[in-house]
C-alpha cells in the first residue's frame, strides 16, 4: 500500500487515495484508522455515524488491514469560502473557459442527446489545458484575495492554478442558482487494482506500466506480474493468503478539489448538491432567487439530473405525472449515502413530495439499498410524502438512460 494513503487532520486516520476502500470498493474520501481495524466510509452506511458534517459511517473489519507508514503528508486545507464567493469565482472561471469540440459532441451525441441550447445554457466547460493562464484571466474580473477557500484552486511557487485533469467541467447549482462546485468527467479514467481476500501477509498491487501491467507483491517481494484485461484477476493462494487482485475501470467522475495542496480547499464539508430544472426555467432563474418546488425527484449526479429533467418536462405536459407542479425539479446528490445533507435544501425549497429515482443496480447492492431505505424512513418521519420510481434495468441503468430509451418509470407511493 506504498503511498496509497494520505494523512488527515484526524489523528491516526488516513485517507485511501491510491487504493480501494474495503467497504465501498472506491478510492478517495474514505479513511482508515492506523490500527487497520476500522473504516469511515463516505459511500456505504452503517449503524454508526462517524460524521454528519462529512457524511461518513463507521465500519469494523473482521480482519485488520496492515497499514504502510509510507504515506503522503497532510497539508492543512482552507475552510471553504462563502457561497457568494464560490459563485463569483466559478462564474468568472466559466467565462474564461471553453467547451472543446469532443466534449460538445459527447454531450449532444446519442449517449446524452442534449440540445445545443441546453449545453450552452447549463454552461458546461472543458478543464483548461493551461489552468494557470486561465486564472490570470479570471483576475481581470475577481480579486486574487477571493481565491482562498475555493475548491480546486491552490497556490504554488509560480502563483495560483487549478487542480484537475482533462475532462468536462459539470457545474453544481444550489437552490439559489449559485454555482457551489464542479465535478470533472475525466477523459481517460484508466484502470485501478482492487485487492480482495483474507491475507496472512502484506499484499500490495499496482499498475507498473500503463494501461494494464499489474505487479503483485507479498511482503515486499514480487509475487506475479501480468497484463490483465478489464475485470480479469490474479488469484492469490500462497502461504495462507486467499484472495484476488482484479483490474477495474477507474473512476470517471472526480470533484474539483485542491485538498492537500498549498492554500488548497476540499470539495466537501459539505459536498455540493445540484438543483436541476428544465432549461426553459433555468433561462429565467435569477441568481439568488430561491427555487421553490412542492415536489422534487432525487437521483445521483448533476449531469444525470440535467438530462433527465428535460425529458421529464415533456412528460409533465402530457399529464402522466401530477405533482402539483407545472415544471419538474431533480436534485443530484453527490452520493446515495449523503442524503442527510439534502434535508435543509428540501426545507428551503418548501418541498413536501419526494420521489427517489436511483440507478436500478441499487437492487443488487445491499449497502446502497439500506441507505435508500434509511433515507425514505427519515423523510416519512419528517412528514414528507415519499415515492419511489422504478423501471426495468434493461431499459437503462439510470433515470437519464431510461428516458433516452423512451421508457417510463413506475411510481409507487410509500
Q: Confidence band (pLDDT; 50, 70, 90) for 123?
A: very high
Q: What percent of the chain has pLDDT over 70?
A: 94
Which regions of 283-335 does DSSP assign to beta strands (E)? 295-300, 330-333
The reported pLDDT for the residue numbered 2 is: 40
CA 97 vs CA 60, 106, 138, 392: distances in Å? 45, 17, 10, 39
Q: Is the per-residue pLDDT at 359 higher than 90?
A: yes
pLDDT band of residue 320 (cuts 50, 70, 90) is: low
Q: How many domains would you assign to the chain? A: 3
Is 141 inside a domain boundary? yes
Mean pLDDT of 229-245: 89
> Is residue 121 packed enough to be buried (19+ CB in 10 Å), middle (13-18) or exposed (0-12)?
middle
| 66 closest CA partner among 203, 195, 193, 192 | 203
Is residue 368 scored above 80 in pLDDT?
Answer: no
Distance CA 207, CA 404 (A): 36
Return the pLDDT at 29. Answer: 81
User: Based on the domain organization, do 52 and 135 belong to the same domain?
Assistant: no
| Residue that finishes a domain, picked among 187, 206, 239 | 187
The answer to whether residue 282 sits within a structural domain is: yes
Whether 345 and 391 map to the same domain: the answer is yes
Query: What grid cell was written down for 25?
Result: 470498493
Give 301's pLDDT tier (boundaries 50, 70, 90).
Answer: very high
Task: Say if 268 falls within a structural domain.
Answer: no
| pLDDT value, residue 203 | 82
Q: Which of 56, 74, 92 is the last residue of a domain?
A: 74
CATH code for the domain in which residue 155 is found: 3.90.980.10
Residue 32 has pLDDT above 50, yes or no: yes
Instruction: Give CA torsion, residues 414, 56, 171, 174, to 10 deg.
Output: 60
| The pLDDT of residue 310 is above 80 | yes
* Cell numbers found for residue 59: 465500519
* Average pLDDT for 123-131: 97
Last residue of a domain, one of 74, 99, 118: 74
Residue pair 189/252 in contact by the 8 Å Cβ criterion: yes
Q: Which pLDDT does position 398 carry in this prediction?
A: 95
- Tell whether 293 is covered by a domain: yes
Query: Quick one: 36 exposed, middle or buried, by C-beta within 10 A (0-12, 13-18, 19+)?
Result: middle
Across 46-60, 255-269, 384-398, which has the greatest mean pLDDT?
384-398
* 69, 155: one domain: no
386 and 366 housed in the same domain? yes
Band (pLDDT 50/70/90 cuts) for residue 387 is: very high
Q: Which residue has the higher pLDDT, 180 or 26?
A: 180
Same domain, 327 and 404: yes
By residue range, what is the domain housing residue 52? 1-74
Comparing 320 with 271, which gets the higher pLDDT? 271
In a domain, residue 362? The reply is: yes
Q: What percent of the chain has pLDDT over 90?
A: 61
Within a domain: 382: yes
Which set of grid coordinates corresponds to residue 84?
A: 457568494
| Summary mean pLDDT of the chain | 90
- pLDDT given at position 1: 36
* End-to-end CA separation in angstroms for the chain: 45
Taking the C-alpha atoms of residue 121 and residue 94, their distance in angstroms, rounded to an integer, is 12
Q: How many CB atoms lie within 10 A of CB 286?
A: 7
Q: Is residue 111 in a domain?
A: yes
pTM higher than the cut 0.85: no
- 172 and 94 co-located in one domain: yes
Check whether residue 87 and residue 43 sit in a common domain: no
Query: What CATH number is attached to the domain comprising 281?
Result: 3.40.1360
Instruction: Please give the pLDDT value at position 326.
Output: 62
- Mean pLDDT value of segment 102-127: 97
Amino acid at each position: 500500500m506504498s503511498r496509497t494513503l494520505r494523512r488527515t487532520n484526524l489523528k491516526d486516520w488516513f485517507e485511501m487515495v491510491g487504493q480501494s476502500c474495503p467497504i465501498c470498493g472506491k478510492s478517495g474520501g474514505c479513511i482508515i484508522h492506523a490500527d487497520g481495524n476500522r473504516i469511515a466510509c463516505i459511500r456505504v452506511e452503517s449503524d454508526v455515524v462517524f460524521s454528519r458534517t462529512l457524511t461518513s459511517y463507521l465500519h469494523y473489519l473482521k480482519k485488520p488491514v496492515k497499514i504502510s507508514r509510507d504515506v503522503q503528508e497532510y497539508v492543512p486545507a482552507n475552510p471553504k469560502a462563502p457561497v457568494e464567493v464560490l459563485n463569483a469565482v466559478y462564474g468568472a472561471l466559466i467565462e474564461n473557459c471553453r467547451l472543446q469540440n469532443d466534449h460538445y459532441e459527447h454531450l449532444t451525441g446519442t449517449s446524452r442527446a442534449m440540445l445545443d441550447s441546453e449545453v450552452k445554457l447549463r454552461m458546461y466547460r472543458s478543464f483548461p489545458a493551461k489552468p494557470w493562464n486561465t486564472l490570470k484571466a479570471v483576475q481581470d474580473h475577481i480579486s486574487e484575495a477571493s481565491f482562498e477557500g475555493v475548491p480546486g484552486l491552490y497556490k504554488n511557487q509560480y502563483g495560483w492554478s487549478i487542480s484537475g485533469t482533462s475532462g468536462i467541467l459539470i457545474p453544481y447549482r444550489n437552490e439559489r442558482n449559485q454555482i457551489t462546485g464542479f465535478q470533472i468527467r475525466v477523459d481517460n479514467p484508466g484502470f485501478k487494482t482492487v485487492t480482495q481476500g483474507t491475507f496472512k501477509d502484506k499484499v500490495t498491487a499496482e499498475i507498473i506500466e500503463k494501461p494494464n501491467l499489474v505487479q503483485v507483491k507479498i511482503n515486499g517481494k514480487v509475487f506475479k506480474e501480468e497484463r490483465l484485461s478489464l475485470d480479469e484477476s490474479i488469484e492469490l493462494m500462497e502461504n495462507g493468503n486467499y484472495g484476488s487482485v482484479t483490474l477495474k475501470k477507474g473512476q470517471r467522475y472526480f470533484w474539483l478539489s485542491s485538498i492537500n495542496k498549498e492554500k488548497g480547499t476540499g470539495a466537501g464539508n459539505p459536498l455540493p448538491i445540484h438543483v436541476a430544472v428544465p432549461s426553459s426555467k433555468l433561462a429565467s432563474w435569477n441568481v439568488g432567487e430561491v427555487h421553490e418546488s412542492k415536489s422534487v425527484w432525487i437521483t445521483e449526479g448533476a449531469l444525470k439530473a440535467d438530462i433527465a429533467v428535460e425529458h421529464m418536462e415533456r412528460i409533465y405536459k402530457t399529464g402522466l405525472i401530477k405533482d402539483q407542479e407545472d415544471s419538474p425539479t431533480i436534485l443530484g446528490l453527490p452520493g446515495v449515502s449523503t442524503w442527510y445533507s439534502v434535508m435543509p435544501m428540501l426545507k428551503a425549497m418548501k418541498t413536501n413530495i419526494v420521489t427517489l429515482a436511483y440507478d436500478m443496480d441499487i437492487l443488487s447492492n445491499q449497502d446502497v439499498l439500506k441507505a435508500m431505505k434509511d433515507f425514505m424512513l427519515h423523510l416519512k418521519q419528517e412528514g414528507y410524502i415519499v415515492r419511489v420510481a422504478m423501471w426495468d434495468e434493461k431499459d437503462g441503468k439510470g433515470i437519464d438512460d431510461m428516458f433516452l430509451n423512451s421508457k417510463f418509470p413506475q411510481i409507487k407511493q410509500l
